Amino acid sequence: MREIVLDTETTGLDPLRGDRLVEIGCVEMVNHMATGQTFHRYLNPERDMPQEAFAVHGLSAEFLSDKPLFAAVAAEFLEFIGDAPLVIHNASFDIGFINFELEKVSRQPIARERLVDTLLLARRKHPGVSNRLDDLCSRYAIDNSRRTKHGALLDAELLAEVYIDLIGARQSQMLLASEARQTFSGGASDQPRRQRETPLSPRVSDSDIAAHAAFVATLGDKALWNEYSSKDT
């Protein structure tokens, strides 16, 4: 299953009052594992940057002045997310801005049925406590030391880690990784293989064994098969 973990940065809190997107960050996950594929763009908001917003993400109007408009990246953004569910922390905020920008460029809005709101998941799992992204990182021992300010791609990467813990997928990932990890030495694995509870019945019949032995006998005394046959007796 493909999912996209998404985060944004903006000039403020309300697109209907003139606030705009300034950054989008997306992380692709397949079967709850990050693939390494990302989408990240800074955007020119075509307006000033309020000091309150600058204090949160550190993106100045000067820095953003030569960045593309949302219209220039809309098609690429929509192609990247495809029809995958979107995993977002406080999803109504981010999707409100994204749909506002999509409407401005005559694109269809993203349906809210596609959203997986990790803030709601966290509130159900951890009621009565703060469930900000930093709090969840601390709760799940996820290193967020690089997060000195908010950043859309970094926050999406951290949220992807948090999401795995929120839905209980971390343990299954560790189990799969443990089963898949093998260290080969001399062509053989030193990791024990799991055994079937009920062994499979033999697929080679007595007549197959006799026919093979008769064939090996035609190869002479120096045939390599004789070495393997002697080990079985």
Task: Kindly list the catalytic residues.
Answer: 150
| Residue 136 φ/ψ region, left for φ over 0, alpha for ψ in the -120 to 50 degree band, beta for the rest | alpha
Tokens of 111: 């349906």
DSSP single-letter state for residue 66: T
Rounded to a whole number of angstroms, the distance between the first and last alpha carbons of the chain is: 50
C-alpha–C-alpha distance, residues 179 and 17, integer Å: 53
Q: How do 115-117 and 86-88 pair as beta strands?
A: parallel
Residue 144 backbone dihedrals phi, psi, to 5 degrees: -115, 30
C-alpha–C-alpha distance, residues 227 and 120, integer Å: 66
Contact 74, 106 (CB under 8 A): no
